[in-house]
């Protein structure tokens, strides 16, 4: 029988995929305005983002603002040898490749990749969130593995902001020992600061 988290993943992915193109672009625009006003954004220089996929809320406006402010934007890249993420510098119009999950990544030599702890701010996609900062992703554990060091360190770079449509909110998610909670969640309606 599928677990509760599998059911939530299935339901929330369906929900966000049913948003119209107009709703998606309205949500993305409002989210962009809200996130770019946050101190956590303004004071960060190295910012990881993602390319929206599967109905995820689109951080494109945040990326454009970050470029204008001369911040360095990064996109996640899959390590070929480990099931974790590194982060490759991303600039407008650069060459991209497609990884083993069909997701675009900057075509950039591993020499230029950085690790999660070298970022100031990470904007994460998610499938479901709750107001305590608990996050359910697509189920690969890639973000959790890449941030696992945060469980044992008091030093907690980068700031983690989950980006979502408000309709992805759950009352309370059941989390596992390996799940890394978020510092903030931003939706098209509000910015939530968790107690982390």
Residue ranges that bind ligand ATP, judged by CB under 6 A: 136-145, 148, 176, 178-179
Q: Does 138 bind Mg ion (CB under 5 A)?
A: no
Q: Which is nearer to ligand ATP, 29 or 103 (CB)?
A: 103
Closer CB to ligand ATP, 136 or 185, in the complex: 136
Nearest to ligand ATP of 11, 178 (CB atom): 178
Closest to 31 (Cα-Cα) out of 151, 177, 165: 165
**31 φ, ψ to 5°?**
-60, -45
Q: Quick check: 105 binds Mg ion (CB under 5 A)?
A: no
Least separation in angstroms between residue 68's CB and ligand ATP is: 29
Closest CA to 39 of 165, 183, 182: 183
Q: How far is the CB of 166 from Mg ion (least distance, A)?
A: 21
Give, as ranges, the residues between 152 and 191 that touch Mg ion (CB under 5 A): 179
Is the four-CA dihedral 118, 122, 126, 131 of positive or negative sign?
A: positive
Distance CA 61, CA 111 (A): 28
Least CB distance to Mg ion at residue 39 (A): 27
Which residues sit at the interface with Mg ion, rule CB under 5 A?
144, 179
């Amino acid at each position: 029988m599928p677990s509760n988290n599998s059911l939530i993943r299935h339901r929330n992915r369906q929900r966000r995929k049913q948003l119209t193109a107009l709703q998606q672009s309205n949500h993305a625009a409002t989210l962009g305005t809200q996130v770019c006003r946050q101190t956590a954004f303004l004071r960060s220089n190295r910012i990881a983002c993602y390319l929206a996929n599967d109905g995820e809320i689109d951080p494109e406006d945040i990326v454009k603002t970050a470029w204008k402010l001369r911040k360095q934007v990064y996109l996640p890249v899959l390590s070929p040898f480990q099931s974790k993420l590194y982060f490759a510098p991303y600039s407008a119009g650069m060459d991209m490749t497609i990884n083993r999950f069909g997701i675009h990544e900057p075509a950039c030599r591993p020499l230029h990749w950085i690790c999660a702890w070298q970022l100031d701010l990470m904007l994460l996609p998610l499938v479901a969130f709750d107001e305590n900062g608990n996050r359910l992703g697509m189920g690969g554990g890639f973000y959790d593995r890449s941030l696992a060091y945060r469980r044992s360190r008091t030093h907690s770079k980068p700031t983690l902001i989950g980006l979502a449509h408000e309709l992805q909110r759950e009352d309370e998610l059941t989390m596992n020992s390996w799940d890394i909670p978020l510092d903030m969640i931003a939706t098209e309606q509000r910015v939530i600061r968790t107690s982390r």
